[in-house]
Amino acid sequence: MLAHPESGRIKGNESRPLNVIIVIPTYNEVRNLAPLVTRLFSLPMPNLRLIIVDDESPDGTGRLADDLAAGHPGRVDVLHRRGRRGLGLAYRDGFRWALDLGADAVIQMDADLSHAPADVPRLLAALEDCDVAVGSRYVPGGSTDDQWGAGRQALSWSANVYARTLLRLKTRDATAGFKGWRRTALEAVGIDRIISDGYVIEVELAYISERLGLRIREVPIYFADRREGLSKMSARNKIEGALGIFRIWLKHHKIRAVEGGEEVPQSLTDRTR
Ligand SMILES: Nc1nc2c(ncn2[C@@H]2O[C@H](COP(=O)(O)OP(=O)(O)O)[C@@H](O)[C@H]2O)c(=O)[nH]1
Ligand SMILES: [Mg+2]
């Protein structure tokens, strides 16, 4: 069971503090990472830990992350990935590490301050009575940057509608990258069955969660545009994401859930259908 973040305790186990770990993927975020870490550690969450997953950023983000880790002993881990880079690959490694470190709850968020550190406690509070909390731009009260032009708004909205329609997702913000997970939810998802290497991992996580029948709650957020650095989302990434939806469907559409989010083994559902 999860305790309210401000109490910082696990229900039924008053002696153990709640371990919350935030996984932050970085690629060329040298101007954003230090302010992000400062703001996260200003939250009233004494047991908060961070895992920064850097893909050999040419701008030195990895070195900066090591410095930040040295400045916050025991609270910041840095995972330096080598080889092929990608948001999905980074998250898969980061999630595994967070579970290995014994996280009770895992938060995933971008490094570019588009996701407000001040919203982290709201996601955690939502996890009180759900399995997955989604920081959502597309529920009442949620929004995207005021500076976004109509074209950019339409692009973000249509990517979301595309993914939702093809996969018949109920989650309003299916491409959201700001999520909170109970440990049990991430374990149920199963990191090893995730196939997305890039941005579309966000949709895959939403799809697996819905197939499993996990309790998903969307928490409205304001998504600010990045002020420093550049988006890494290329036209190629967008095409890969669009095609990735079909692979996701193929891989996971047979997942069946029973009440309470417990997965029915595939062989069993095949026999009973
Ligand atoms: N480790 C890692 N992080 C990435 C990669 N691509 C993007 N990111 C990070 O993922 C987050 C979201 O990326 P961003 O470029 O802001 O995407 P946008 O918000 O959709 O424009 C940021 O923290 C990026 O630094 C990657 O290949 N590897
Ligand atoms: Mg961004």
* Closest ligand 1 atom to Cα of 85: 27
Separation CA 57–CA 31 (nearest Å): 12
Mean pLDDT, to the nearest integer, of 177-198? 98
Please say whether the beta carbons of 94 and 79 come within 8 A. yes
From 28, 84, 232, give the residue whose CB has the most ligand 1 atoms within 8 Å, as the site to mutate.
232
87 lines ligand 1 (CB under 6 A): yes
User: 45: phi > 0 → left, psi -120 to 50 → alpha, else beta; which?
Assistant: beta
- Characterize the bridge pairing of strands 13-17 and 9-10: antiparallel
Residue 210 pLDDT > 70? yes
Measured by CA distance, the residue closest to atom 14 of ligand 1 is 231
Pocket test for ligand 1, best of 54, 85, 87 (most atoms within 8 A of CB): 87
**The CA-based dihedral angle spanning residues 153, 154, 155, 159, taken in that order and rounded to the nearest 10 degrees:** 110
Could you tell which of 22, 79, 110, 196 is best to mutate to test the pocket of ligand 1, judged by most ligand atoms within 8 Å of the CB? 110
pLDDT band of residue 271 (cuts 50, 70, 90) is: very low
Q: What is the pLDDT of residue 13?
A: 52
Amino acid present at 113: L
pLDDT per position as a tens digit, 85-127: 999 999 999 999 999 999 999 999 999 999 999 999 999 999 9
Q: How far is CA 206 from CA 36, 69, 84, in A?
A: 25, 31, 24
CA of 198, closest atom in ligand 1 = 27
| pTM as predicted | 0.92
User: Which amino acid residue places its CA nearest to atom 11 of ligand 1?
Assistant: 110
Q: From ligand 2's centre to the CA of 220, what distance in Å?
A: 17
Q: Is the pLDDT of residue 9 over 80?
A: no
Q: Which atom of ligand 1 is nearest to the CA of 111?
A: 23
Report residue 141 as tokens: 């009260």
d(CA 182, CA 109): 15
Instruction: Return phi, psi of residue 216, to 5°.
Output: -110, 130
Q: Is 119 in the pocket of ligand 1 (CB under 6 A)?
A: no
Q: Please give the backbone phi and psi of residue 80, each rounded to the nearest 5 degrees, phi first.
A: -95, 105
- Count CB atoms within 10 A of the CB of residue 155: 13
Closest atom, ligand 1, to C-alpha of 114: 19
| Domain ranges (residues) in the chain | 9-272
**What is the per-residue pLDDT across 10-53, written as a single tens digit (0 to 9) for each?**
455 555 678 999 999 999 999 999 999 999 999 999 999 999 99
**Ligand that comes closest to the CA of residue 231:** 1
Q: Which residues are registered as beta bridge partners of 181?
A: 106, 132
- The β-bridge relationship of strands 216-220 and 132-136 is parallel
Indicate if ligand 1 lies below 6 Å from the C-beta of 93: no
Query: Is the CB of residue 233 below 6 angstroms from any atom belonging to ligand 1?
Result: yes
Region of 190 please: left (phi>0), alpha (psi -120 to 50) or beta.
left
Instruction: Tell me the three-class secondary structure of the chain, residue by residue.
Output: CCCCCCCCEECCEEEEECCEEEEEEECCCCCCHHHHHHHHHCCCCCCEEEEEEECCCCCCHHHHHHHHHHHCCCCEEEEECCCCCCHHHHHHHHHHHHHHCCCCEEEECCCCCCCCHHHHHHHHHHHHHCCEEEEECCCCCCEECCCCCHHHHHHHHHHHHHHHHHHCCCCCCCCCCCEEEEHHHHHHHCHHHCCCCCCCHHHHHHHHHHHHCCCEEEEECEECCCCCCCCCCCHHHHHHHHHHHHHHHHHHCCCEEEHHHEEECHHHHHHHC
CATH architecture type of domain 9-272: Alpha-Beta Complex (3.90)
- Band of residue 265 on the pLDDT scale cut at 50, 70, 90: low
Q: How many whole angstroms from 110 Cα to the centroid of ligand 2? A: 6
Give me ligand 2 centre to Cα 52, in Å. Answer: 16
Please give the distance, rounded to the nearest whole angstrom, from the Cα atom of residue 112 to the centre of ligand 1. 8
Q: How confident is the model at residue 149 (pLDDT cuts 50, 70, 90)?
A: confident
Please say if the pLDDT value at position 259 is more than 60: no
